[in-house]
Every structure is written in structure tokens, then in C-alpha cells.
Amino acid sequence: MIRDDLLRLESEAHRRLSEVRSPAELDEVRRAYLGKKGSVTQMLKGLASVAPEDRPAAGQAINDLKNRVSAEADAVMLRLETEAERIRLEAERLDVTLPGRGPAPGRRHPLTKIMDEIKGIFMGLGFQIAEGPEVETDYYNFEALNMPSDHPARDTQDSFYISDNVLLRTHTSPVQIRYMEAGKPSFRAIMPGRTYRRDAVTSRHSPIFHQVEGLVIDRNVTFTDLKGTLTAFSQRMFGQDTRMRFRPDFFPFTEPSAEIAISCFVCKGKGCRLCSGSGWLEILGAGMVHPRVIANAGHDPEEWQGFAFGMGVERIALLKYGIDDIRYFFENDLRFLKQL
């Protein structure tokens, strides 16, 4: 008899639970079976009227039923909660195509980025970084660099003068002298900085620009070291497949002197607009430091020798970013600065 009642009760509970649509309804059903006055609870109370020998089995059966209904109710609760959460989250749906908002990170100036890249490569090659004044004496800017007054090489470095003897440095080379004067060999340093020449502002020239100078002095530093160092630099800066062209040039402060070109990284040397059809891009001047320069800086050129080099930062930035007008670097137009 009890068995039948249990079966009926279970199927009824199952049916009602399956029809539940809300937590309130679930509560009602749960109470109707499992509550103090619920059917299952009532059956447990009715055990007293069952024959003592049948009681354990009946009790067990009712308890099993209670557990099953309770478990099913829990499952229904989970279903309801999941559904409710789904609906709630659905209602919170965003338009993910709206733009993100927040402050944009600022950018380093393109010249700073190039400068940082150059510094990084040379630091990896064991170079220190040195600096010197932008307003210089004629001695450091010219004389000590083996460029006495009346030297025609001064023609290419038209200068802004403060007085007869003081000018805005036309290159970073005077830092070489100051650096060597201040220390004992050996030296291995780059000297980045701002330089000035009395050139009108055009798309190709700026009266204010930047250079990175380099200096390596030791007992046995050679021309092949110059070549190897600048090749390593250029390939790191412009790509491992960069080819190099070293050719003689003239700088009063180096002997031998070299002008260094890299294979054009746009056309790979075939000739294009960037390299004016030559396949080569001139990026560096270099040479073995002139013995008079070493002596001027207070060291014995028979004991110490080495190389120096210089490059224009704007030139490299123009090439690397494909910029066609040097003026952009100094106009600080945000439409330019925010691009690079």
C-alpha cells in the first residue's frame, strides 16, 4: 500500500516540479512535499501506524523519496537561477562596437625614439654615453679638431656666432675633445646632442638638428674595427641584410676618413626614389682619429689610436619613417607627433 502511495506521490512531485516557473512556485512545491505539513513529511509521521516489522523498510523508502524530491527541487532551483542570470546578463548587454575610452598613452618624439635606438645598439657594444655644451668655443668646435681658422672645410659648417670666439656647435665632435681631456684612455663612448648650422629652414635642412658622435680609442683599435663596428650598428638599425659601402671622404679630424652608405632598404640596392636611384643611402661619416686631435686632447698619438664617427639623427629618422620634410620634427604638430 505504502509503495503505491510513494510511487504516486513521486510522480506527482516530479510533474509539479517540472512545471515550476519561478523560485516562489518552487518554494510552494517544496513546502507541499517536504515542508512541515508536506505530504512526504506527513508520510514519515504516519510511520507509527505501520507494522513494526515493516517500519524500517517503509522508513527507508520514504527517506529515499524525500531525498530524491529534494535533489530534484535543488536541480530545478539551479535551472531557475541559471535562467534568471542569463536573462539578467542579457539585459546588461553592451554595444561592444562603441569605442574604448580613456586617456591615450603619450608618445616619445620620433627623434627621441631614433636616438634611443641608436643608444641601445651602442650600449650593447660597450659604449658609454657622454654629453657636452651646445654653446662652444671656437677652440673645441674647430681648432682642436684640426680645423684652424681659414680652413676651407669650415665653409660647409656655416656657424651661428655669439662672439668672435664663441659659437653654437656645428657638430657633436667637440665633445670628443672634452671627453678625452677629462679622462684616461681607453675610451668608448657615443655623444648624442643638438647641433646648429646657419642654414635656412627648408624641407631638407634645419638650422637646428641632432647628431650622434662616436669615439673608440685604445692601443690597437683599427680601421677594420671601425668597419666592423659600424657594420654591426647599421645591420642592427636597418636590418641584417643591409650591405655597406665605405668610401674615402675628407674630415680634418680623421685620417683616413670614410663616408659610409648602406644599401637602400626600400629597393635593396636596385635604385628607387628614396636613394635617388643610386641604391645607396649615405648615413655616416667616420675615420681614424687624426693624431693631432688625440694630441690636442692631451694623449700620445703614438700610444693611443682609434676611430670616430658621426651621424645625423634627423637623416636616419627621415629614412626610417619615410618622412619627406625635416620641418615636421620641430613643428610639433600633433597630427604628426601622434602618428609615429
Partner 1 sequence: MKAPLMWLSDLVRIDIEPAELADKLTMAGLEVGKVETGEWGAVFDAEITSNRGDCLSMLGLAREISALLDTEIKQPLSEVTDGEDKGWARVEVRDYDLCPRYAARVVDGIKIASSPEWVQNRLIAAGMRPINNVVDATNYVMLELGQPLHAFDYTELNEGRIIVRRAEPGEVMISIDGMERELDPQMLVIADAEQPVAVAGVMGGAESEVSDKTETILLESAIFKPGSVRRTSKRLGLSTEASYRFERGVDPDGVRRALDRVTALILEMIPGAVVRDTADIYPQPVLPQRITLRGSKVNSLLGSDLSLPVMASLLRRLHFGVIENDDSLEVTVPTYRRDVSIEVDLVEEIARLYGYNNFEDTLPGGLCLPGGKNRKQLFEDLVRDVLTGCSLDEAVCFSLTDKSFPDRLLLPPGDDLRRTVEISNPLTEDLAVMRTTLADGLLSVVKRNLSVKENDVAVFELGRVFLAIEGKDLPEEKSMVGIAVRGNLWQNRWNVPSEVVTADFYQLKWMVEKLLAACGLEDVCFAAEATPWLHPGRSAVVTAGGRKLGYIGEVHPRAAAAYDISGPAYLAELDFDLLAEAGRLERFYCSVPRFPAVERDMALLVSEEVTSAEVDGIIREMAGELIERVVFFDLYRGSQLPEGMKSLAYSIYYRSPERTLTDEEVNAVQERITTALEERLSAQLRR
Site for partner 1 in 108-147 (CB under 8 A): 108-109, 111-112, 119, 122-129, 133-137
Q: Is residue 330 within the footprint of partner 1 (CB under 8 A)?
A: yes
Q: Does 255 bind partner 1 (CB under 8 A)?
A: yes
Interface mask (CB under 8 A) for partner 1, residues 273-292, using x and -?
---------------x-xx-
Question: Rounded to an integer, what distance in angstroms lies between the CA atom of residue 270 and that of residue 232?
Answer: 22
Nearer to partner 1, 33 or 307 (CB): 307
Closest to 252 (Cα-Cα) out of 323, 134, 148 = 148
- Our CB check for partner 1 shows the closer of 29 and 230 to be 230
Q: Which of 258, 246, 244 is nearest to 289 (CA)?
A: 258
By CB under 8 A, the residues from 166 to 185 that bind partner 1 are 166, 168
Measured from the CB atom, is 70 or 137 closer to partner 1?
Answer: 137
Show contacts with partner 1 in window 189-208 (CB under 8 A): 194, 196, 198-200, 207-208
Burial 99-126 (b: 16+ CB within 10 A, else e): eeeeeeeeeeebbeebbebbeebbeeee
Measured from the CB atom, the residue of 89 and 98 that comes closer to partner 1 is 98
Contact residue for partner 1 among 91, 149, 240, 303 (CB under 8 A): 149
Nearest distance from residue 32's CB to partner 1, in Å? 48
Burial class (CB in 10 A: 0-12, 13-18, 19+), 194: middle
Q: Does 98 bind partner 1 (CB under 8 A)?
A: yes
Closer CB to partner 1, residue 160 or residue 321?
Answer: 160
Q: What are phi and psi of 232, to 5 degrees?
A: -60, -45
Residue closer to partner 1 by CB (options 33, 251) is 251
Would you list the DSSP string of 50-92? S-TTTHHHHHHHHHHHHHHHHHHHHHHHHHHHHHHHHHHHHHT
Per-residue x/- track, 52-91, partner 1 (CB under 8 A): ----------------------------------------
Contacts of 249 (CB under 8 A, 6+ apart): 257, 258, 259, 285, 287
